[in-house]
A = this chain, B = another copy of it.
Amino acid sequence: MRPKLPHAGSLWHSGRDTLPEKSPIIPFAGRVGANQEFTLGKNSCARAEILQKFPDAAPWIPVRDAVSLKGFLQIELWKAATVEAIASCLLVYLTCFVAIGLGQVVPVFASGPVVPGLIGGLTALLALPLFIYSAGPVSGAHINPIITIATFFSRLCSLPRAVLYVSFQAFGAAVAGYLLRASMDTRSFIVPGCYIDTSKISIGSAFTIEATTDFALVFLSFGVGLDPRQREVFGPALGPIFVGLIVGMCTFFTGFSRDGYTGFSGNPARCFGAMVGSHFSSYHWIHWIGPLTAGMLHGVLYFFVPPYSREEVAAARNIRDDDES
């Protein structure tokens, strides 16, 4: 059990003041599963400089900092995006590979897609925490455009980082698609979670399920993996496991109730990669517009009900501005 933070009253202050300037861990408020533990503390002497370079080193990024394009000049962002690309490539490859197999065995089970859906949920539950642990210290372990989009709209992630991450995630997923095609000896394969039988389910239904479940995914992921108040409840070892549980749960819950629907996507890059490897379908926009809708809705919620005192955070940022002037 984690010891109580001594100054738990002011949650935002409990960021790390001791992160050295040369440490390879760049503070990032949007790190998944860490519940903002690795954010910038208030008293760091290097504060101003770090916030200048990485406005998302602390939460509640001012709008003018968030959209500033200076971030594209930071080599660390490009390194982090590269790790996102590699992790996305591997995650998409593995979860598509196993899902293809699970989709094939559905007709074998008398119970239909329930058991394969359960196993499919289990695969997400297993794979995701391991990837979050591995990529977390470098990139914050989004490994999924839906998380990057949601953290951007929640002002935990700057625009340059968001653009780089989503692009590199999509690129990594595309490489995974080509590797899948090579591994399957064919481009005729179906990836559950990205396939919809449009003769059995309307586009409106598919979009409703996708967007609603995406919003649940974002809401819950922020609740267990990006909320500074959870630092007192469980540490950075348990957070990623809960995020895996969320994705696994959503995958299983939406996977078998409607005939012709193979489960929500929850990861636009995964379906992008799967379609690069096989064929693009007309409804692929759902996999992107669903998460975008969910991320924007969540941003509005986050604006009105933030998990920290906004005045306090703004005051801390003003201190920075004073230092600058």
Contacts and interface: CB of A to CB of B under 8 A. Distances in A.
Interface in A1-34: 1-3, 8-11, 16, 18-20, 22-25
Interface string A179-210: 10011110000000000000001101100110
Give the interface size class of chain A: 35 or more
A283 B234 CA distance: 42
Given A110-B108, A237-B234, A238-B237, A220 B134 contact: yes
- Majority DSSP secondary structure for residues of A touching B: helix
A153 to B, nearest CB: 16
Given A20-B10, A305-B79, A204 B224 contact: no
A102 interface: yes
Contacts of A183: 205, 208-209, 212, 258
A185 B202 contact: yes
A69 interface: no
A213 to B, nearest CB: 7
Which 6 pairs between the two chains have the least Cβ-Cβ distance?
Answer: A134-B223, A101-B257, A98-B253, A137-B229, A9-B20, A90-B216
Given A83-B301, A104-B257, 6 more contacts: A10-B23, A97-B253, A98-B254, A133-B233, A136-B233, A183-B208
23 contacts: A1-B1, A8-B16, A8-B18, A22-B311, A22-B312, A94-B249, A94-B254, A95-B253, A97-B253, A98-B252, A98-B253, A126-B245, A126-B249, A130-B224, A131-B223, A133-B223, A133-B224, A134-B223, A137-B227, A179-B212, A182-B208, A184-B205, A184-B258
